[in-house]
């Protein structure tokens, strides 16, 4: 949908969706309120037609990281126009994957552009195949962890499936093909018509941890989006839950 709407490549569409936490409505809204190019820049996207003569100038070029000379075939150029040797790119990608990054930025000084994931996969697969597989996993997890409409099945052992619901169905009870039924909102066992917050307190009380519940009630504030308890211990008043909701 995004590639057709904006006429962009798949990796650019994915970068835009990750930036907006996989909410297409937010993309529509930003497209109405902002210029198309500005929306892309904020998501770390530069389209190739906007590059002004930054391609390698000759058959032999200098890598501005290791300062060695390479043929054009041993150099990769990102859509922002920055180019470096494939060895330096590969080590940069490996370090980024090791640090858990789902989006890898260009090595250019202060360049915010997200690297083409196809180039990342290609270079990593040649030297670090395990890192390439982890990066592919990161892309999948970005869709699952940042998307309000998709959630992993909480089965133990994990069945490897994810459940997707429609808009406005976050608080429904679902059943995975593995046979496990659960509440989509909190991933606990199906507990309708009991609200998730009350169910959580009941579970803790049944497990003999009533004092823990009292402390949570006295010292935390529930996120209005995912209902997880959040504790604020010092710092400024701006607190953001892991689900992306701003509190206080």
DSSP line for 29-53: HHHHHS-HHHHHHHTT---GGG--S
Q: What is the DSSP letter of 71?
A: E
Exposed/middle/buried for residue 131 (C-beta within 10 Å: 0-12, 13-18, 19+):
buried
Exposed/middle/buried for residue 98 (C-beta within 10 Å: 0-12, 13-18, 19+):
exposed
Backbone angles phi, psi at 77, to 5 degrees: -115, 130
Exposed/middle/buried for residue 159 (C-beta within 10 Å: 0-12, 13-18, 19+):
middle
**CATH code assigned to 60-144:** 3.30.40.10
Taking only the tens place, the pLDDT of each residue in 99-148 is 988 889 999 988 989 999 999 999 999 999 999 999 998 888 888 877 87
How far apart are alpha carbons 243 and 39 in whole angstroms? 22
Query: Over 60: is that where the pLDDT of 222 sits?
Result: yes
User: Which active-site residues does the annotation give?
Assistant: 236
CATH 3.30.40.10 residue ranges of the chain are: 60-144
Query: Over 80: is that where the pLDDT of 205 sits?
Result: no
Q: What is the structure's pLDDT at 58? A: 64
Taking only the tens place, the pLDDT of each residue in 4-51 is 888 888 888 988 988 888 888 888 888 888 778 888 888 888 876 555
- CA-based R_g, the chain, Å: 23
Q: What is the structure's pLDDT at 53? A: 40
Q: What is the structure's pLDDT at 194? A: 85
Helices (H) and strands (E) in the chain, counts: 9, 12
Query: Over 90: is that where the pLDDT of 234 sits?
Result: no
Q: What is the structure's pLDDT at 107? A: 93
∠ at Cα 5 (4, 11), nearest 5°? 65
pLDDT, averaged across the chain: 84
Q: What is the structure's pLDDT at 52? A: 44
How far apart are alpha carbons 120 and 112 in whole angstroms? 16
Find out whether 247 and 223 touch, Cβ atoms under 8 Å: yes
Global pTM value? 0.66
Among residues 100, 105, 103, 101, the alpha carbon closest in space to that of 89 is found at 105
How far apart are alpha carbons 30 and 244 in whole angstroms? 18
Tokens of 230: 């959040």
b/e map 101-128, b = 16+ CB within 10 Å? ebbbbbbbeebebbbbbebbbbbbbeeb
- Report helix, strand or coil for 101: coil
User: Residue with structure tokens 């169905």?
Assistant: 169
Does 41 or 168 have the greater pLDDT score?
41
Tokens of 38: 């500005």
Q: What is the structure's pLDDT at 54? A: 47
Q: What is the structure's pLDDT at 209? A: 58
Q: What is the structure's pLDDT at 240? A: 80
């Amino acid at each position: 949908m995004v590639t057709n709407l904006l006429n962009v490549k798949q990796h650019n569409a994915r970068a835009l969706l990750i930036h907006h936490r996989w909410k297409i409505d937010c993309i529509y809204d930003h497209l109405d309120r902002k210029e198309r190019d500005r929306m892309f820049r904020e998501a770390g996207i530069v389209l190739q037609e906007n590059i002004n003569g930054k391609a390698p100038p000759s058959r032999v070029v200098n890598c501005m990281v290791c300062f060695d000379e390479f043929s054009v075939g041993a150099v990769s150029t990102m859509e922002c126009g920055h180019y470096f040797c494939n060895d330096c790119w590969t080590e940069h990608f490996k370090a980024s994957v090791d640090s858990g990054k789902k989006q890898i930025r260009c090595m250019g000084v202060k360049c915010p552009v997200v690297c083409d994931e196809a180039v990342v996969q290609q270079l990593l697969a040649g030297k670090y195949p395990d890192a390439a597989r982890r990066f592919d996993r990161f892309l999948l997890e970005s869709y699952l962890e940042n998307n309000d409409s998709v959630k992993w099945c909480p089965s133990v052992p994990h069945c490897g499936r994810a459940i997707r619901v429609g808009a406005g169905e976050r608080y429904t009870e679902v059943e995975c093909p593995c046979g496990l039924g659960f509440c989509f909102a909190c991933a606990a066992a199906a507990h309708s018509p009991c609200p998730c917050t009350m169910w959580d307190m009941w579970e803790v009380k049944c497990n003999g941890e009533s004092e823990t519940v009292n402390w949570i009630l006295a010292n935390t504030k529930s996120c209005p989006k995912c209902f997880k308890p959040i504790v604020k211990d010092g710092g400024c008043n701006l607190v953001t839950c892991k689900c992306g909701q701003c509190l206080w």
